[in-house]
Amino acid sequence: MNSSKVLMAYVPEWKTMKAEQIPAEKLTHLLYAFSLVNEQGECTTFAEMDSARANLKMLKEVKARNPHLQMFISVGGWTGSANFSSSILTPESRGKLIKSCIDLWIKGGVGVPDMFDGIDIDWEYPGSAGETRNFRPEDKQNFVALMTEFRRELDVLGTATGKRYLLSAALG
Q: Which residues are catalytic?
A: 124
Report the DSSP pairing between strands 8-12 and 29-37: parallel
Question: In sequence order, what are the residues at sequence separation of 6 or more whose Cβ sits closer than 8 angstroms to the Cβ of residue 44?
Answer: 35, 36, 37, 38, 100, 104
Closest CA to 155 of 147, 164, 146: 164
**Contact criterion met (CB below 8 Å) for 136 and 127:** yes
Q: How far apart are CA 55 and CA 122, in angstroms?
A: 20
Return the bridge partners of 11, or none: 32
**Contact criterion met (CB below 8 Å) for 20 and 43:** no
